[in-house]
Amino acid sequence: QTSHYTPEQRIVFHVYDTAVWKQTCEHGQALVQQFFPNCELHYHVFDATVDDAGSMIEPDCDIFLFAYFFVEMLKYESQAQKFFNSLMAGAKPGALFMSLDPGLEDSPSSKLT
C-alpha cells in the first residue's frame, strides 16, 4: 500500500460553524497542536443558512466532512439546496464528501438523493 503522506507534511483542518462553537474549537486547536504538531486547525464563523458555500471552499480541499450537518439543514430546504449547489460547483474535481449524520435512513432527508 502506497501512501503519499509524510510525517513532515502539514495537515490543515478548516472547521466552519456558527460563533457558538468558536471557543470550543479554539480550545481543541491547542490540544491538536500539542499532540499532533504537524496539524493545524482553523475555525471560521460560518452559517450555512445565510452564507454562500463558495466563500468557504479552500481551493486545495481534498475532503469535506459533515457531522450532524444534514440533520440540522433539514428544516432549511431552500437554503440547503443553494448551499450544496454552490459547494458542488466550487469543489475541486476528485474531492471526497463524507457525512457523519446518524439515522438519516429514517429521516425526511432519506428522500434527498
Cα separation of 100 and 102, whole Å?
6
Each residue of 47-101: pLDDT tens digit? 998 888 888 888 888 889 898 888 888 889 889 899 989 999 999 999 999 988 8
Give phi and psi for 12, each to the nearest 5. -115, 125
Each residue of 3-43: pLDDT tens digit? 566 767 888 888 888 898 888 888 888 888 888 888 888 88
Q: 106: pLDDT confidence band, cut at 50, 70 and 90?
A: low
Q: Could you tell me the three cell numbers for 106?
A: 429514517
> Structure pTM?
0.72
Which of 71, 74, 80 lies closest to 50, judged by CA? 80
pLDDT at 113: 46
